[in-house]
């Protein structure tokens, strides 16, 4: 079920009419449905309910807004963080330390120290030098750091190259064939307790097969470690399950299909399974609400120039991503157009030769499926504002991050005293 639907000709988010939000907050603005996120979280939990106490740790990088994290914390989700900043956000949202996983290839000493002091479920280590540094830090703090090695299972995720992470040439994890040696060497380091292994092969996966391969390889590696005498208590299966962006394509596997596959592959593993979904939880729970600035004639098709741009939503320019675009209050009729933003880059394009609701200057549009890897990847290129974020919950809605415009940024910037202003 979509939480963004037409009611009496006007798109609503849950019970809130989008034009009301646009009038009050201005455009462009990200609008999130709290109940859409809850529904996804509950569906995944139900799909994994046959497992032994699974931990569902939301990948904070997908949508780090504190209000979003608070909704998910209240649903019982943990957090998968990849920086000290994300660790802080997870804690600020009330996520208990023992529900936090810390991933990422470049954790610094300061980040390790902060997470160890605050507590966490486990560090997912991505190299042996990282283990050596964490060992020194843990010993110096008189603590034991719970760790897993993230292994690179060398599978092709079948996703866009920029969001595939589990092939041998990617920077992530240690080669799965080296896991035994790495865990053996770990015995020589103090201050660390080996918990298990982790995989995450990429994002927006639209088939289960690559995940199955990765999970099967993880199971073999765990068996080898146990044969070597290691006690293995966790297996982190990562995130990556895709969502539907283009309704004309076959839908990706459901949470239910995913859960059934995981249950079948991990039967008898005797570990606590950890999951790190991001996009699956938040992606379809948000839209980018934008206004048409003007229509400009083009050679092949007209350009619909909207007030949102690549700085607000970079996925189309960065990943060639397809987002559904529709009028908020369709007036009837269609047009074929390129939908573009105002930024001075030819790549600032949301859609090419797209069949759309007929729109004109001043009309509102939604760019759908903008709840994950959207506001969080925004920048201020061309001195554009950072778009605000709004959370809707039933008939209630609130600004959960206000617009930050050039006035705000100028207040932070400094002209050094030796440069006199004219």
Catalytic residues: 344
Residues 342/308, Cβ–Cβ less than 8 Å: no
- Tell me if 239 contacts ligand PLP by CB under 6 A: yes
For residue 62, the minimal CB distance to ligand PLP (Å) is 5
- Tell me if 387 contacts ligand PLP by CB under 6 A: no
For residue 82, the minimal CB distance to ligand PLP (Å) is 6
- Tell me if 312 contacts ligand PLP by CB under 6 A: no
Binder of ligand PLP out of 18, 34, 47, 59 (CB under 6 A): 59
- Tell me if 252 contacts ligand PLP by CB under 6 A: no
Stretch that binds ligand PLP, among 135-143, 225-233, 236-244, 362-370 (CB under 6 A): 236-244
For residue 197, the minimal CB distance to ligand PLP (Å) is 13
Nearer Cβ to ligand PLP, position 240 or 388?
Answer: 240
For residue 57, the minimal CB distance to ligand PLP (Å) is 8
Nearer Cβ to ligand PLP, position 11 or 83?
Answer: 83
- Tell me if 62 contacts ligand PLP by CB under 6 A: yes
Both tokens assigned to 49? 């309910």
Nearer Cβ to ligand PLP, position 115 or 280?
Answer: 280
Stretch that binds ligand PLP, among 232-240, 326-334, 387-395, 399-407 (CB under 6 A): 232-240
For residue 163, the minimal CB distance to ligand PLP (Å) is 7
Binding track, positions 176-205, relative to ligand PLP; x by CB under 6 A:
------------------------x--x--
Q: Could you tell me the CA-to-CA distances from 96 to 73, 76, 145, 278 in Å, in that order?
A: 9, 10, 16, 18
Q: Which residue has the tokens 């740790």?
A: 57
Binding track, positions 68-97, relative to ligand PLP; x by CB under 6 A:
------------x-x---------------
Nearer Cβ to ligand PLP, position 154 or 276?
Answer: 276
For residue 202, the minimal CB distance to ligand PLP (Å) is 7
For residue 159, the minimal CB distance to ligand PLP (Å) is 9
Interface residues for ligand PLP in 259-298 (CB under 6 A)? 276-280
Both tokens assigned to 106? 């470049």
Residues 232/218, Cβ–Cβ less than 8 Å: no
Binder of ligand PLP out of 40, 65, 83, 103 (CB under 6 A): 103
Residues 221/181, Cβ–Cβ less than 8 Å: no
Site residues for ligand PLP per CB under 6 A: 59, 61-62, 80, 82, 103, 200, 203, 238-240, 276-280
């Amino acid at each position: 079920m979509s939480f963004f639907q037409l009611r009496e000709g006007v798109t609503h988010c849950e019970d809130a009419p989008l034009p009301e939000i646009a009038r009050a907050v201005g455009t462009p603005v990200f609008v999130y449905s709290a109940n859409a996120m809850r529904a996804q979280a509950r569906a995944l939990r139900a799909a994994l309910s046959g497992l032994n106490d699974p931990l569902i740790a939301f990948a904070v990088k997908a949508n780090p807004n504190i209000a979003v994290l608070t909704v998910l914390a209240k649903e019982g989700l943990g957090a998968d963080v990849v920086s000290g900043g994300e660790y802080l956000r997870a804690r600020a949202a009330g996520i208990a330390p023992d529900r936090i996983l810390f991933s990422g290839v470049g954790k610094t000493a300061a980040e390790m120290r902060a997470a160890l002091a605050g507590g966490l479920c486990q560090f997912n280590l991505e190299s042996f030098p990282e283990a050596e540094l964490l060992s020194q830090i843990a010993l110096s703090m008189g603590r034991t750091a719970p760790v897993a090695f993230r292994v690179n299972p060398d599978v092709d995720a079948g996703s866009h190259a920029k969001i595939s992470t589990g092939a041998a040439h990617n920077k992530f994890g240690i080669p799965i064939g080296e896991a035994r040696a790495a865990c053996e060497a770990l015995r020589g380091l103090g201050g660390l307790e080996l918990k298990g292994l982790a995989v995450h092969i990429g994002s927006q996966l639209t088939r289960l097969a690559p995940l199955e391969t990765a999970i099967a390889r993880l199971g073999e590696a765990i068996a080898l470690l146990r044969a070597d005498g290691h006690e293995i208590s966790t297996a982190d299966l990562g995130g990556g399950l895709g969502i539907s962006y283009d309704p004309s394509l076959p839908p990706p596997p459901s949470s239910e299909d995913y859960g059934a596959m995981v249950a079948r592959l991990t039967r008898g593993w005797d570990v606590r399974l950890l999951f790190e979904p991001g996009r699956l939880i938040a992606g379809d729970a948000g839209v980018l609400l934008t206004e048409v600035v003007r229509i400009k004639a083009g050679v092949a098709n007209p350009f619909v120039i909207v007030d949102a741009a690549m700085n607000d939503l970079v996925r189309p320019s960065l990943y060639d991503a397809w987002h559904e675009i529709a009028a908020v209050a369709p007036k009837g009729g269609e047009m074929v157009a390129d939908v573009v933003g105002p930024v001075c880059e030819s790549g600032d394009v949301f859609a090419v030769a797209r069949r759309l609701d007929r729109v004109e200057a001043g009309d509102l549009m939604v760019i759908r499926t903008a709840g994950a890897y959207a506001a969080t990847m925004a920048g201020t290129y061309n001195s554009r504002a950072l778009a605000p974020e709004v959370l809707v919950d039933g008939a209630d809605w609130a600004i959960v991050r206000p617009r930050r415009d050039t006035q705000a940024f100028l207040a932070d910037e400094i002209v050094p005293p030796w440069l006199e202003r004219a």
